[in-house]
Chain A
Amino acid sequence: MSDPLLTVEDLAVTFPDPDGSDTRAVDGVSLSVEAGEIHGLVGESGSGKSVTARTVLRLLDDADVSASRLAYRGEDLLAKSEREMRAVRGDEIGMVFQDALSALNPVMTVGEQIAEVVRHHGDVDESTSLLSELRRKYVTGTSKSTASWRRAVELLETVGIPDPEQRASEYPHQLSGGQRQRVMIAQALAGDPSLIIADEPTTALDVTVEAGILTELRELCADFNVAILLITHDLGVVAQTCDHVTVMYSGSVMEHGPTDDIFEAPAHPYTEGLLRSIPEGAKRGDELATIPGSAPDPRDRPAGCPFRDRCPEATEACTDSLPEHALSAEHHTYCHHRPHEDGGRDDVRTSPQPER
């Protein structure tokens, strides 16, 4: 097997606090994304998944980052200068943010927002100096006859926006929520990247629009051979879309493996709990399954397994370490009690299995 596209090993991200109570947002996360796959990064709010994603692009200036390895195509991202990172951002790794309305610039046409990525990273011969960019923005406007603009229109068409020529000249507030998210995707594609990090791309959308966007992402993944790191808190989205999943809880990875394996045989008690809490087939009035308790404060995270206070199977051993167990070559879990000492996995089978 060749090197994965993106390798994250033992990543820790801390936000220093002058008062002394630093926030350890990510604590020992490892994951790898293979070329052309869709990799889901799941976890509840505050589990550190977005911080992990932003750290890959080194977008968090005020964070202390350490990792035994943070590599893209074998190149160490932490060793790169800001200038070198600019050649990675948008060019090798595109980013799709959650709320497209606030993540797109309100005073710039969507066409220009895509075209500038083409100019900076694409194969067009147009000046990207500060002065020419400012002239385009404030004086002349974006020329509609340039290669970058034509490429922007093409990209809008690719991501399924009707009447792309007209839309390219419009501003974000003139588009619908789904169209805005498609613009975000077009923008991420514009530099012809090999990896797109999509941070909760459908959270702000209606269910029907969400389905359209997920289909779009799957198709792009296949058509352009681009890998996607899909960050979400929605296991339904994962089941529909992802090849592999990494489950995070409170800054740490609990389990990772192929989507099918994890849905059919979740190994970690947290993953089991998550799957059980999907309201599949629940009737009106039924009590929905929840995981009692709440996640630990990231400023005061206990050693050992962060899930132990909410875990029905927690024992003394869980307070001091978080061991990794391989269930198969690809399916790993971080838990003292898995696989079960008796080898039986009967209880695991009872969890609901969402349709794919």
Chain B
Amino acid sequence: MGLERYVTKRVLQSLVVIYAVASIVFVAVRSVPGDPARLILGGSADVDAIRAMRANLGLDEPIPVQYAKWMADLAQGNFGQSIYSGDPVLSMVANAAEPTLSIGLVGITIAVLVAIPAGVVSATHYNEWEDYAATGVAFLGISMPSFWIGIVLILTVGSTLSFLPTYGYASLKAGVIPWFTHTILPALAVGLPYAGILTRMTRSSMLEVLGEDYMQTARAKGLPARTVLLKHGLQNALLPVVTVAGILLALMLGGVVAVEMVFGVQGFGRLLIRSIERQDFPVVQGSVILISIVFVFMNLLVDLLYTFVNPKIRYGGGE
């Protein structure tokens, strides 16, 4: 069915996108007023020291030369070093990405696990108390920004359930349980608004599906009501939800950045903001490239997921 060809084509297209992003970021960080050498050495440093530092960092060369060198390094997988700590950018980003991805993925999982059943119950109990309850909670979730939910969670859940830490992050390497207890609250903060939107989407989509002819056919075949609902209805109801879920995923990662601040997590958002403040060019560039890689592949993943959910879509051939 040409799926491999399609994936190859999409990956090659993604490389072009990532290259473009890299170039834009390169120009953007250098367009920001200020000088990292002066920031490192402080306001009182003399001109010669600053010049030496600039040469040391490779910032005295013409922009096109810097660009060519950087690209050549990048092509070999070398993202460079932080101009402050000298640490390799790749390991800095990887360390910071773990908490961010943990919070994001646990948040999505919670959101999906809550939203789909809630949406289905809401639709099957249309205009009954179950529907009103699910709708009320969903709107509450949609209306509150993630960082606010985070603060509320710290003040309520965090202060009553003492085994749930409200600050910092524990790596998976330290064990699953500490990892989970540190991740769950920020993940809830990120996931609830997402769950709210998905619940409403699932509900309206399911309501539409319940009126479809094939649902009546399934009933006329003598299938039990739940089989009709979940076997015949659910997948059809999720078709539009998957599309929206993919778009929302990207938006949600933006929410993680603010939530990291609330929970004092040394995550990706914090790394990026600190590097921008310090004009740590290699780190900013490396981080943005990695974000764009994540986004591009999330999109590809959602598109591929869609082919499994909707048999009418066949990439790279057929209709």
Contacts and interface: CB of A to CB of B under 8 A. Distances in A.
Contacts of B219: 59, 89
6 closest cross-chain pairs (CB), A and B: A90-B222, A89-B222, A95-B220, A90-B221, A102-B213, A105-B214
A90 B224 CA distance: 12
Interface string A43-63: 000000000001001010000
Interface in B248-299: none
Given A107-B235, A107-B236, A86 B224 contact: yes
A323 to B, nearest CB: 35
Contacts of A356: none
Interface string B79-115: 0000000000000000000000000000000000000
Interface string B230-249: 11100110010000000000
A116 B232 CA distance: 11
B227 interface: yes
B222 A97 contact: no
A108 B236 CA distance: 10
Contacts of A57: 220
Interface string A133-147: 110011000000000
B213 A99 contact: yes
A303 interface: no
Given A97-B213, A99-B213, A134-B230, A105 B221 contact: no
B62 interface: no
B236 A87 contact: no
A97 B312 contact: no
Contacts of B232: 105, 108
A69 interface: no
B311 A106 contact: yes
A120 B223 contact: yes
Interface size class of A (residues with CB under 8 A): 35 or more
Contacts of B226: 130
Contacts of A117: 221-222
A117 B217 CA distance: 11
Of listed B213, B217, B223, residue having the most chain A CB within 10 A: B217
B126 to A, nearest CB: 12
Of listed B221, B223, B225, residue having the most chain A CB within 10 A: B221
Interface string A81-124: 01001111111000101010011111110000000110011000
Given A89-B221, A107-B310, A130-B227, 17 more contacts: A59-B219, A86-B223, A89-B219, A89-B222, A90-B222, A90-B223, A95-B220, A97-B216, A99-B213, A103-B217, A104-B217, A105-B218, A106-B236, A120-B223, A133-B231, A173-B312, A184-B217
A283 B226 CA distance: 55
B213 A87 contact: no
A139 to B, nearest CB: 12
A15 interface: no
B35 interface: no
Interface of B: 212-214, 216-227, 230-232, 235-236, 239, 309-312
Given A105-B232, A107-B311, A137-B231, A91 B213 contact: no
Contacts of B222: 85-91, 117, 120-121, 191
A121 B224 CA distance: 12
Contacts of B236: 105-107
Contact of B312 (A90, A99, A106): A106
B227 to A, nearest CB: 5
B214 A104 contact: yes
A107 B235 CA distance: 7
24 contacts: A57-B220, A59-B219, A86-B223, A86-B224, A89-B220, A90-B220, A90-B221, A91-B222, A103-B216, A104-B214, A105-B217, A105-B218, A105-B232, A106-B214, A120-B221, A130-B227, A130-B230, A133-B227, A133-B231, A134-B231, A138-B235, A173-B311, A173-B312, A191-B221
Contacts of B217: 95, 97, 103-105, 184, 187
A133 B229 CA distance: 12
Given A95-B217, A104-B217, A173-B312, A116 B235 contact: no
Contacts of B311: 106-107, 171, 173
Nearest to B226: A130
B224 A130 contact: yes
A62 to B, nearest CB: 12
Interface in A122-174: 128, 130, 133-134, 137-138, 171, 173
Contacts of B225: 82
Contacts of A105: 214, 217-218, 232, 236
Nearest to B223: A120
